């Protein structure tokens, strides 16, 4: 039966003879360079050196013998540490054997469950005419023109052109926009904007406060209160173009509305295929975790928690948000990642073991193909990206990711995939 932990403890001993031999060697080396008052360099007796530099000699002896002893014991017991061995309970008395304990974590031993016959259920993800019509309407919305409104006040549905200054309560950088459109009465517009701008005329000045909820999508605003000063510069309405061949030519390289619809369907199917693949992988990983119950090294879980937190920080930075300025309890957020981090580590160990069992690996062709894909989204050549990733030590990580993805694809091909019934009222 597997141990409930990956922690290993080795009680180790270095014989008095080995300690004595190492002590003599260090003392002799030290006597050649040590400066002792009353003696020329290299002429002080070794016994005096041992007394005078007892602590330094002890440190050198431990540094040379302890790691070597741990390494030898680990190799003899055929263990593979995944964390740096920590030494404690050190017992060192002159002329006696050194006793100590080495504590570290190892990869878990486990028998793979029946991974060749996984069963997963997938929801229907067909692209419907309704999906195409919705995407077409969104394209129409994006291509809409704005016509100025004159002779009346702001009504629901209007777009108000504003000069806006927002000052955060409690200090912080103000928000400033010389020309911004606010859609009055829209679901996504905060209510104080609707209340204060409805009925306003061009030239009006409005001042009001807005309290943003903690889960507001924009992290720069989430959980904060802003005092706004707004000048109404203009009122506009959105004019939607007619859905015809001319519209299709204006918004795309299609020559007709039917061709545009076909292109939209192809694009939606491409996105659907990506979502389907991601969901399939998620479900396979969940099944593998259910099938294989074993302890995972805490050090790897901690590392994964850090990686998850780094992704959050990177995401904020990409949105132009200083992570230090966000009102987030980072310790709590990190601790909340523990269960998912544990599953991440477990999944990685299982998939790695399956890849080895089935001789699945990332070929040079796979790596080149992936580098070409990255190059297609950047201004660098394949050779430049390969050189940079090699220098950063990231090429091996890319190979490991490709190997893992290939293994998950192999598992999907061998799995029994059931399609769930379509929800009532939703076309299949």
Q: Which CATH number goes with the domain that contains 75?
A: 3.30.70.1050
What pLDDT sits at residue 374? 87
Q: Does residue 98 belong to any structural domain of this protein?
A: yes
What pLDDT sits at residue 232? 94
What pLDDT sits at residue 419? 85
172 and 233 in a single domain? The answer is yes
Q: Does residue 427 belong to any structural domain of this protein?
A: no
Residue with the larger pLDDT of the pair 360 and 329: 360
In this structure, are residues 168 and 326 in contact, taking their beta carbons and an 8 Å threshold?
Answer: no
Provide the percentage of residues in the chain whose pLDDT is more than 70. Answer: 94
Q: For position 172, which CATH number holds? A: 3.10.50.40
pLDDT, average across residues 102-113: 90
Which helix (H) or strand (E) covers residue 120, if one does?
Answer: strand 119-122
pLDDT, average across residues 368-373: 90
Residues, the chain: 428
Using pLDDT thresholds of 50, 70 and 90, give the confidence band for residue 43.
low
Tell me what the pLDDT averaged over the chain comes to. 88
Provide the percentage of residues in the chain whose pLDDT is more than 90. Answer: 53
pLDDT, average across residues 361-383: 89
Using pLDDT thresholds of 50, 70 and 90, give the confidence band for residue 19.
confident
Number of structural domains found in the chain: 2
- Residues 241-290 have pLDDT tens digits of 899 999 999 999 999 999 999 999 999 999 999 999 999 999 999 999 99
Longest dimension (CA), the chain: 106
Q: Does residue 169 belong to any structural domain of this protein?
A: yes
pLDDT, average across residues 283-304: 92
Those residues with Cβ within 8 angstroms of residue 195's Cβ, 6 or more apart along the chain or in another chain: 208
Phi, psi of 358 (to 5 degrees): -100, 10
95 and 14 in a single domain? The answer is yes
Crossing angle for the helix pair 395-414 and 382-392, nearest 10 degrees?
100
What pLDDT sits at residue 217? 84
Which of 221, 239, 257 is the endpoint of a domain? 239
d(CA 195, CA 192): 5
What pLDDT sits at residue 2? 40
Q: Is 8 helix (H, G, I), strand (E, B) or coil?
A: strand
Which of 48, 83, 105 is the endpoint of a domain? 105
Q: Does residue 53 belong to any structural domain of this protein?
A: yes
76 and 151 in a single domain? The answer is no
153 and 63 in a single domain? The answer is no
In 10 A of CB 246, how many CB atoms?
A: 12
In 10 A of CB 93, how many CB atoms?
A: 10
24 and 94 in a single domain? The answer is yes
Query: By residue range, what is the domain housing residue 183?
Result: 145-239
Name the β-bridge partners of 230.
164, 206
20 and 95 in a single domain? The answer is yes
75 and 150 in a single domain? The answer is no
- Residues 375-391 have pLDDT tens digits of 888 888 888 898 988 88
What pLDDT sits at residue 42? 63
Residue with the larger pLDDT of the pair 45 and 390: 390
155 and 98 in a single domain? The answer is no
Q: Is the dihedral of CA 312, 318, 322, 326 positive or negative?
A: negative
d(CA 36, CA 41): 7
pLDDT greater than 50 at residue 424: no
pLDDT, average across residues 224-244: 92
pLDDT, average across residues 40-45: 66
Q: Does residue 307 belong to any structural domain of this protein?
A: no
d(CA 364, CA 370): 10
Using pLDDT thresholds of 50, 70 and 90, give the confidence band for residue 90.
confident
Beta strand ranges found along 274-395 (DSSP E):
none
What pLDDT sits at residue 41? 66
pLDDT greater than 60 at residue 1: no
Using pLDDT thresholds of 50, 70 and 90, give the confidence band for residue 3.
very low
pLDDT, average across residues 198-223: 90
Four-CA torsion 240, 245, 250, 255, nearest 10 degrees = 160
Lowest mean pLDDT among 29-43, 136-150, 322-336: 29-43
19 and 70 in a single domain? The answer is yes
Q: Does residue 234 belong to any structural domain of this protein?
A: yes
What pLDDT sits at residue 427? 45
What pLDDT sits at residue 425? 43
Q: At CA 137, angle to CA 134 and CA 139, rounded to 5?
A: 115
pTM over the 0.75 mark: no
| Beta-sheet pairing, 205-211 with 159-168 | unpaired
pLDDT greater than 70 at residue 46: no
**Residue 93 CB-half CA count within 13 A:** 2
Q: Does residue 247 belong to any structural domain of this protein?
A: no
Q: Does residue 297 belong to any structural domain of this protein?
A: no
Which of 105, 137, 159 is the endpoint of a domain? 105
99 and 11 in a single domain? The answer is yes
158 and 72 in a single domain? The answer is no
d(CA 24, CA 54): 12
């Amino acid at each position: 039966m597997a141990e409930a932990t990956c922690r290993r403890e080795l009680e180790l001993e270095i014989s008095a003879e080995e300690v004595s031999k190492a002590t003599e060697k260090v003392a002799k080396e030290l006597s050649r360079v040590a400066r002792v008052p009353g003696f020329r360099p290299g002429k002080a007796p070794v016994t005096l050196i041992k007394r005078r530099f007892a602590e330094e000699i002890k440190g050198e002896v431990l540094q040379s013998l302890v790691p070597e002893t741990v390494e030898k014991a680990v190799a003899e017991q055929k263990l593979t540490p995944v964390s740096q061995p920590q030494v404690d309970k050190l017992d060192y008395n002159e002329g006696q054997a050194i006793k100590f304990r080495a504590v570290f974590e190892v990869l878990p031993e486990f028998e793979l469950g029946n991974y060749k016959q996984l069963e997963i259920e997938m929801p229907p993800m067909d692209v419907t005419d309704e999906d195409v019509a919705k995407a077409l309407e969104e394209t129409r919305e994006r291509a809409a023109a704005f016509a100025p409104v004159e002779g009346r006040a702001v009504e629901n549905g209007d777009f108000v052109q504003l000069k806006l200054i927002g000052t955060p309560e409690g200090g912080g950088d103000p928000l400033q926009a010389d020309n911004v459109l606010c859609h009055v009465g829209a679901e996504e517009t905060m209510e104080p904007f609707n209340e204060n701008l409805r009925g306003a005329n061009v030239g009006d000045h409005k001042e009001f406060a807005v309290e943003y909820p903690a889960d507001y999508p924009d992290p720069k605003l989430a959980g904060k209160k802003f005092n706004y000063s707004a000048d109404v510069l203009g009122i506009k309405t959105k004019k939607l173009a007619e859905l015809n061949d001319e519209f299709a030519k204006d918004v795309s390289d299609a020559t007709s509305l039917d061709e545009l619809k076909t292109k939209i369907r192809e694009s939606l199917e491409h996105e659907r295929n990506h979502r389907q693949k991601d969901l399939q992988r998620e479900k396979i990983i969940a099944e593998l975790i259910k099938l294989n119950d074993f302890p995972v090294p805490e050090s790897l879980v901690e590392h994964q928690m850090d990686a998850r937190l780094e992704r959050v920080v990177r995401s904020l930075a990409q949105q132009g948000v200083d992570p230090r300025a966000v009102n987030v309890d980072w310790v709590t957020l990190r601790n909340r990642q523990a269960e998912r981090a544990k599953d991440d580590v477990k999944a990685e160990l299982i998939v790695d073991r399956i890849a080895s069992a089935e001789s699945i690996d990332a070929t040079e062709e796979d790596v080149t193909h992936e580098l070409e894909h990255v190059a297609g989204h950047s201004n660098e050549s394949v050779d430049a990206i390969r050189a940079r990733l090699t220098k950063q030590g990231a090429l091996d990580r890319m190979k490991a990711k490709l190997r893992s993805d290939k293994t998950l694809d192999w598992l999907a091909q061998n799995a029994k995939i059931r399609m769930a019934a379509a929800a009532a009222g939703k076309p299949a």
